[in-house]
Every structure is written in structure tokens, then in C-alpha cells.
Amino acid sequence: MGMLRRFGTTGLLMIALTACGGGGSAGATPTGGKAASPAQSGPAETGPAESGSSETGSSETGSSETGSTETGPKSAGSTQSAVQRVLSRMSVEEKVGQLFMPVLYGTAADTVSGENQARYAAQTPAKVIGKYHLGGVILFPHNVKSVGQVVGLTNGMQRASKDVPLLIGTDQENGLVSRMSALMTDFPGASEIGATKDTGLSRAVAEATGAELRALGVNIDFAPVADVNVNPRNPVIGRRAFGNDPQRVAKMVEAAVKGFDDAKVAATVKHFPGHGDTSVDSHTGLPVIKHTKAQWERIDAPPFRAAIEAGVDAVMSAHLVFPKLDPSGDPATLSKPILTGLLREKLGFQGVVSTDALNMAGVRKKYNDGEVAVRAVLAGADLLLMPNDLPKAYRAVLGAVESGRISKQRLDQSVTRLLTLKQNRGLLTEAPVASAAEAADVLRSPEHRRLAARAGG
């Protein structure tokens, strides 16, 4: 494939290792939803350095407002009517674009980058957003230089999304996985907070983290980790988890979800149905979890149940095989029995299901990049994070809709959930505008540094 010829196997491995928290503190991954969500019924996973790019963008500061719309909960009727109005005017191509959240290259929306051209046949982040009608973008350390620059980038990308504002996400778990660590308060990771047994601390740190992200123009965090780390040899979760006790982890996760909600930032618990008992890294292999259904209920399920009851916006799938939950051999990301049967029907989750990064080896063992995206949607995923080959994945999903393999009703269900999340977070019809001056006051504020010190950071 084109990417393989351009980057070689080493380049692809580097991309995969940054997809969901691998590669240390600078690496990359990736709800109960609100009660107002109409989504359940619906209508009838660090790229290479940018040495070849020229940084032509400027650092915009935007307006003095950090958010231009109210982000409080909406009534069921008002949310549904607003979402349906937006949905009704979207083309099939625009609906398919809403499902995708790739990583883009550049430090401004108009940065000309060889990486964007090679991957997406469009030179700048703004042009990629327009070409594929993207629903979201995920930020990585290569997008981060300064507070003013990130504010300019997020504002510029929002302007490039002409019809529906973007979900702009990142992996800011704190601790080992902290994509925005160059700018944000250095809070301790989940294991340190979990060890305190202080749920109030978990909520406070999540709220502070969310406030700093929101000030930068980031509106969804791929955190907190809801895995219960019961395997000491786990190479990918470890200290990213709140601990090895299911009930304690559940309480910490619930508190963190509420903290992000306090900050008006969407939270994403991960990695469903549970990545805590594995000795294989899904960035480079396909883990197999051998828990029985009873063990899953006792060990893995409690944090996800708690998060759903707390109204979490999104749940991220895991690229691992769980034979007792689905004997097909497909990873959970591609498993309808797990994403639809277990997560939606058994646990009652009505919000957005996000895949883990789709450039990871764990999800690409059996199927090509287009088929992976199609099967993820058929399994129940709504948000397709970091496809390995965006043009191929986009064409495959669009073709599957046009052929009827993915029904238009199924597509509308996912788009409805994504639009509902945006509506619940004040992002449906008017994009928030971040302010560099206000962000400078919020990031690493004395209050947040004192909180970090109290938490052990």
C-alpha cells in the first residue's frame, strides 16, 4: 500500500506505538451518554516527525470567549429536534465524514505538510477537514508548540469545519500518557491517584485537566482508563489504571467522569470490555483475555458500569479477543456481540462508542484497512479513531452505505449519537472559540499546581 511504500515497516510501527498510550509520556492513542440522547433508537487507535513540512501558519488567539454556546444538559425534546435538523441537511458523504477522527500534521490549520499530502492528498489540516467532512481531529505532541499556537490551531480547524463543529480530542490521562504535557499542569497518573483512595481527588484532578484542555480548544479527552490492572506483566496498561481492585477502580473512574463533566469536556472511558489482564500489547499484537463471563462481571465490568451510570459521553473499544464474550476470534472493536450485545443492550450505554486507534496491529491482523472500518461500524462503533489509511477507510464505509451493507439507518444511528454528544457539549451549531490570554491564566495556574502537589505530582 502507499503508506507502506512511503514509510516502511519501521514507520508504521512507530505510528502504531503512539496510538493508544504506547511509547511513554509523549506517545499517542485515544455513556451512558446524557439522558437526553435519542441515539439508541435513531432514525427508521506519533506519526513521523514533520521534517518535511513548512510551518506557514500563525498563532491565532481567537476571541476572548472560551466557549460560545451553553454546555449544560439539554432537554430530550430540544436535543433531539436540534440534532435531527442538522442530520436532515447532511449528505451521505458528510455523514460518513462525521465518523472519522484522524491525526493531522501541522501546528496551524494552514500549515503545509508533506505528511498530510502523503496520507490524505491534501496539504493542510484545513484542507483535509474539508475534503473528508471530518467529524473530529485528535492532537498529538507534534501539534503542540505553545499555548497561543495550540489555541490558533484549534480555532483554525474549527473554522475549517464549515457545517458542524469538530470534536477535538487528545489522550491526556496524566502520568505516562500526557500528550499536552508541554503546556499543561503535571498531574500524577491514575495509579498514584488510585492509591490515595480519595475519590474527591480523582474528581478534582479530572476537572482541572478538563478545564485546561477546554481552554486550549480541546473538547473531548480519551480518558479516564477504566481497566482493572490485575496482570503484573501487563505491558500497556500498568500504572495507567487506578489499580487492581474493581470496586476501587469503579469509584475512581466514576469520580473522574464527573470531574470532566464539571469542566464541560467529554470523557471517554477505555478500553472496553477490559484490557487489564493481558501480557500482550495491542499496539503490536492481538491480546486474548481468558476471563469467563462471571470473571468479566466481577473484575472488568464494574468500572464501565459506574462510568455509564455517571453519564460518560463515550466508551472506547479494545483491540483484544475475549473468547467467552465472543468466540468468533475477532477483536472487541469488530465484535457486534461485545459492542452492541454487551455494551449497548446489556449495560444500556446510549452514547458514542469510539474505536481505539485503527492503525494498531491488534485490529489489523485479519482484515484490510477498509474492511476494518466497515466491520467496526457494523459491530456498533460510532467514532473511527485514527484509521491507518483514511482515504481507503472513508471510501470503504461510503461504499458499504451505498451498497446497503451498512444501512442508512445504521449510519444515521452513529451520526445521531455523535451529533448528540456535540449538542450536549454545546458544539452542534456554533464552535467554541478559545482565547490564548484566558488559556495562559488557566494552564499551570497556582491552584492547579497546588492540586498536583496534593495529589502527589
DSSP of 256-319, one letter per residue?
HHHHHHHTT-EEEEEEET--SS-SS-TTTS--B----HHHIIIIIHHHHHHHHHTT-SEEEE-S
Active site residue 319: no
Element (H, E) at 384: strand 384-385
**Residue 9 pLDDT:** 34
Which domains can be identified in the chain, with CATH numbers?
29-38+59-455 (3.20.20.300)
More confident residue, 117 or 457: 117
Q: 354: number of CA atoms within 13 Å, CB side?
A: 39
Please state, for a pLDDT cut of 70, what percent of the chain lies above it: 81
DSSP letter at 62 equals -
Q: Average of pLDDT values for 100-116?
A: 97
**Residue 237 pLDDT:** 87
What does the alpha-carbon distance between residue 388 and residue 358 come to, in Å, rounded to a whole number?
Answer: 6
**Residue 75 pLDDT:** 57
Ranges 207-211, 379-383, 453-457: which has the least confidence: 453-457
Q: Is residue 3 pLDDT above 50, yes or no?
A: no
C-alpha cell at 452: 498536583
Radius of gyration of the chain (CA): 20
- pLDDT tens profile 186-245: 999 999 999 999 999 999 999 999 999 999 999 999 999 999 998 878 777 889 999 999
- pLDDT tens profile 351-361: 999 999 999 98
Catalytic residue, chosen from 142, 271, 275, 283, is: 283
- pLDDT tens profile 35-66: 333 333 333 333 333 333 333 333 333 333 33
Cβ 175 vs Cβ 188: under 8 Å: yes
Between the alpha carbon of residue 330 and those of residues 319, 327, 364, 389, 451, the distances in Å are: 9, 8, 10, 20, 43
For residue 226, the cross-strand partners are none
- pLDDT tens profile 383-419: 999 999 999 999 999 999 999 999 999 999 999 999 9
Split at pLDDT 50, 70, 90, the class of 282 is low
**Residue 297 pLDDT:** 96
**Residue 21 pLDDT:** 52
**Residue 281 pLDDT:** 63
For residue 169, the cross-strand partners are 138, 220
Cβ 372 vs Cβ 378: under 8 Å: no
What does the alpha-carbon distance between residue 164 and residue 158 come to, in Å, rounded to a whole number?
Answer: 9
Split at pLDDT 50, 70, 90, the class of 365 is confident
Q: Is residue 19 pLDDT above 80, yes or no?
A: no
Between the alpha carbon of residue 78 and those of residues 38, 243, 420, the distances in Å are: 11, 40, 11
**Residue 285 pLDDT:** 72
Cα 154-432-112 angle, rounded to 5 deg: 20
Among 4-8, 16-20, 393-397, name the most confident range: 393-397
Look at residues 308, 309, 316, 319 and name the one whose alpha carbon lies nearest to residue 268.
316
* Bridge pairing between strands 220-221 and 167-170: parallel
Tell me the whole-structure pTM to 2 decimals: 0.84
**Residue 15 pLDDT:** 38
Active site residue 356: yes
- pLDDT tens profile 327-339: 999 999 999 999 9
Catalytic residue, chosen from 330, 356, 369, 382, is: 356
N residues, the chain: 457
**Residue 42 pLDDT:** 37
Look at residues 172, 239, 176 and name the one whose alpha carbon lies nearest to residue 209.
172
**Residue 2 pLDDT:** 33
Cβ 124 vs Cβ 109: under 8 Å: yes
**Residue 200 pLDDT:** 98
What does the alpha-carbon distance between residue 180 and residue 273 come to, in Å, rounded to a whole number?
Answer: 27
C-alpha cell at 313: 459521553
* Average pLDDT score, the chain: 85
User: What type of residue is 179?
Assistant: R
**Residue 76 pLDDT:** 63
Split at pLDDT 50, 70, 90, the class of 280 is low
**Residue 391 pLDDT:** 98
